[in-house]
């Protein structure tokens, strides 16, 4: 039921970012939360009608959990799959407000260069840059977001070795 899934996913997203013990001492509920979220993303009608906004929030929650709980054993084991699921779902089309937040965060993540997120050998960075470039001028984007994207891409151009830049430009075709 999307009217329940959307606020529940939003709550998990906020909890993941701001409450270190939201998933129990030692994160014992994190794996269960991720299982439910991943199931919701893969529902046959996840991107249709009222389901889409709810699924956008589910995907945002997966991203927040991955970003803020990367040291958890589940993410150490399944982090690549989760980040690929997250990036594979983007761009968000149902909840424009959530889409804008996710793109802003994606620009900051890309700039950070965290290998757990961008992929070892910058494997996911091309996809990230392609998503960011495609989001410029879309509904819900702002000048602040455009500036953040420009700063992130400029930072990558200034700091990555030539083979890293080649990987990014190759990913723009994705």
Which burial class, exposed, middle or buried, applies to 31 when counting CB atoms under 10 A from its CB (0-12, 13-18, 19+)?
Answer: middle
Q: Residue 100 and residue 142: Cα distance in Å, rounded? A: 8
Closest to 121 in 3D by CA, of 76, 166, 73: 166
Digitized pLDDT (tens) for each residue of the chain, 174 residues in all:
889 999 999 999 999 888 877 787 777 888 999 999 999 999 999 999 989 999 999 999 999 999 888 888 888 899 999 999 999 999 999 999 999 999 998 998 888 878 888 877 777 888 888 898 888 888 888 899 999 999 988 888 888 778 777 777 765 654
Burial 100-124 (b: 16+ CB within 10 A, else e): bbbbbbbbebbbeeeebbbbeebeb
Q: What is the DSSP letter of 43?
A: S
Closest CA to 99 of 126, 125, 63: 63
Nearest 5°: the CA angle 51, 16, 94 is: 20
Nearest partner of 35 among 3, 54, 61, judged by Cα: 61
Angstrom distance (rounded) from CA 162 to CA 168: 10
With tokens 């997120």, the residue in question is 117
Which DSSP letter does residue 22 get?
Answer: T
| Diameter of the chain measured on Cα atoms | 48
* Per-residue pLDDT tens digits for 92-143: 999 999 999 999 989 988 888 788 888 777 778 888 888 988 888 888 888 9
Among 111, 165, 100, CA closest to 137: 100
Q: What is the pLDDT of residue 172?
A: 66
CA–CA gap between residue 133 and residue 96 (Å, rounded) = 17
| Cα 78–chain centre separation | 15
Q: How far apart are the first and last CA of the chain?
A: 32
Q: How far apart are CA 85 and CA 81, in angstroms?
A: 6
């Amino acid at each position: 039921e999307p009217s329940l899934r959307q606020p529940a996913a939003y709550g998990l997203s906020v909890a993941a970012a701001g409450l270190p013990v939201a998933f129990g001492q030692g994160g014992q509920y994190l794996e269960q939360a991720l299982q439910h979220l991943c199931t919701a993303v893969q529902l046959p009608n996840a991107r249709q009608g009222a389901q889409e906004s709810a699924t956008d929030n589910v995907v945002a929650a997966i991203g927040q959990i991955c970003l803020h709980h990367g040291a958890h054993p589940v993410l150490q084991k399944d982090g690549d799959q989760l980040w690929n699921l997250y990036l594979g779902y983007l761009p968000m089309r149902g909840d424009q407000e959530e889409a804008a937040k996710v793109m802003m965060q994606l620009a900051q993540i890309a700039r950070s260069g965290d290998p757990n997120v961008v992929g070892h050998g910058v494997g996911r960075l091309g996809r990230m840059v392609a998503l960011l470039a495609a989001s410029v001028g879309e509904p819900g984007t702002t000048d602040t977001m455009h500036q953040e994207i420009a700063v992130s891409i400029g930072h990558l151009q200034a700091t990555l070795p030539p083979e890293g830049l080649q990987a990014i430009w190759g990913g723009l075709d994705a």
